[in-house]
């Protein structure tokens, strides 16, 4: 596939990186890092709303998954707590459903996040009894859920019907998880609710699988962004750190480490661009292969890059004050959620 970002997409990424540099999420997180889970800021929500990023995937905005991909990579690189991809994915589906919550979601007045069952051993159950929908169990972990006004729950019922419902957070129990990730909050929604006709919608077959593919792609893109930053800070550190009166970057072993890290990041980026293009296409089988190949390759590579970055940094990389451990923690969580590496490999084999 012959593909390259357009000038507009490169400018979009540069503008987002500039905003994130000015409003450094990790620097803002540092003072309260021991006080509880990371939270989004009003300024951050205002930024993504006024920039049109929340409604990027809607028909009116005309954005693509590749557009969103370059943004998500930048937020992963910066260690941002803003769930940009999740907000955009939920808003797109609300627009398709013609749901009354769309306007508030697109404007950022209310945060609506998607919630699905886990890809493996799902604990979320949906049952239809006539026109009544019974939702029970626990969703997969979702980032930013502690600040959401509503969740857009998407599930497959016991009869195979795909359904969606917008649930205010006060109708479910939001349980915040303790994870390795200190730059984002992760929570699950626990519920046992009955919804009458008119309070839930029937989805087109394949919608749930498409949402899972979207979230898996953007989770891997987040890991890619963090890994790309680790490459940059590792190369910079290797050029400054001296041993035997020489920069350690002059040692062949360190050169090989940095080259392998850079190669992994560039190859992962190409795979994820292909996945994003597939999400914008109509070939379901090609999308399945592209997404799972990219997610498995990227998340494993990002984890290896993180470990190598720690090794090159040596003792300083283990310190609480250094950003290396924050990015490693973020990557490790990305590696496990929205389909593990082993899950996507099995899916790829059977695709």
Instruction: With beta carbons less than 8 A apart as the criterion, state whether 118 and 75 touch.
Output: no
Residue 244 buriedness (CB in 10 A; 0-12 / 13-18 / 19+): exposed
Place of tokens 């012959």: 2
pLDDT tens, position by position, 211-228: 999 999 999 999 999 999
Whole-model pTM? 0.96
Query: What six digits make up the tokens of 133?
Result: 């929908």
Average pLDDT, the chain: 96
Looking at 65-198, list the stretches that DSSP marks H as alpha helix, in order from N- to C-terminal side: 65-78, 84-97, 102-107
Give residue 210's pLDDT: 98
In three-state secondary structure terms, 160 is coil
DSSP string, 28-50: HHGGGTTSSS----HHHHHHHHH
Give residue 351's pLDDT: 77
Give residue 316's pLDDT: 87
Give residue 217's pLDDT: 98
Give residue 3's pLDDT: 78
Query: What six digits make up the tokens of 103?
Result: 């306007």
pLDDT tens, position by position, 230-282: 999 999 999 998 899 899 999 999 999 999 999 999 999 999 999 999 999 99
Ranges of residues in the chain whose predicted pLDDT is under 70: 1-2
What is the largest distance, in Å, between two alpha-carbon atoms of the chain?
A: 77
In the chain, what is the straight-line distance between the N-terminal and C-terminal CA atoms, in Å?
A: 20
């Amino acid at each position: 596939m012959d593909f390259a970002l357009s000038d507009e997409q490169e400018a979009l990424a540069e503008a987002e990186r500039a905003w994130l540099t000015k409003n450094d999420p990790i620097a803002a997180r540092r003072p309260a890092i021991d006080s509880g889970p990371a939270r989004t800021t009003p300024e951050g929500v205002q930024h993504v709303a006024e920039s049109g990023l929340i409604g990027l995937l809607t028909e009116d905005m005309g954005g693509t998954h590749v557009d969103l991909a370059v943004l998500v990579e930048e937020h992963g690189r910066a260690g941002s707590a803003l769930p940009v991809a999740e907000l955009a994915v939920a808003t797109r589906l609300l627009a398709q459903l013609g749901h009354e919550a769309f306007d508030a979601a697109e404007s950022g007045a209310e945060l609506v996040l998607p919630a699905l069952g886990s890809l493996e051993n799902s604990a979320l159950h949906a049952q239809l009894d006539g026109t009544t929908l019974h939702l029970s169990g626990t969703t997969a972990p979702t980032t930013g859920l502690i600040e959401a006004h509503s969740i857009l729950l998407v599930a497959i019922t016991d009869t195979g019907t795909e359904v969606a419902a917008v649930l205010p957070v006060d109708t479910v129990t939001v349980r915040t998880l303790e994870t390795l990730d200190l730059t984002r909050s992760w929570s699950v929604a626990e519920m046992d609710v009955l919804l009458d006709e008119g309070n839930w919608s029937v989805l087109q077959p394949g919608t749930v699988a498409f949402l899972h593919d979207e979230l898996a792609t953007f989770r891997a893109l987040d890991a890619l962004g963090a890994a790309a930053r680790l490459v940059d800070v590792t190369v910079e550190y290797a050029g400054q750190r001296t041993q035997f009166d020489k920069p350690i970057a002059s040692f062949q072993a360190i050169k090989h480490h940095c080259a392998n890290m850079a190669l992994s990041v560039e190859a992962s980026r190409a795979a994820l661009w292909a996945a994003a293009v597939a999400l914008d296409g109509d070939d379901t089988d090609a999308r399945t292969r592209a997404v799972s190949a990219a997610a498995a390759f990227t998340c494993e590579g990002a984890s290896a890059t993180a470990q190598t970055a720690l090794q090159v940094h040596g003792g300083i990389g283990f310190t609480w004050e250094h950003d290396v451990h924050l990015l490693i923690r973020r990557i490790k969580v990305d590696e496990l959620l929205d389909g593990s590496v082993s899950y996507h490999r099995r899916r790829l084999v059977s695709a």
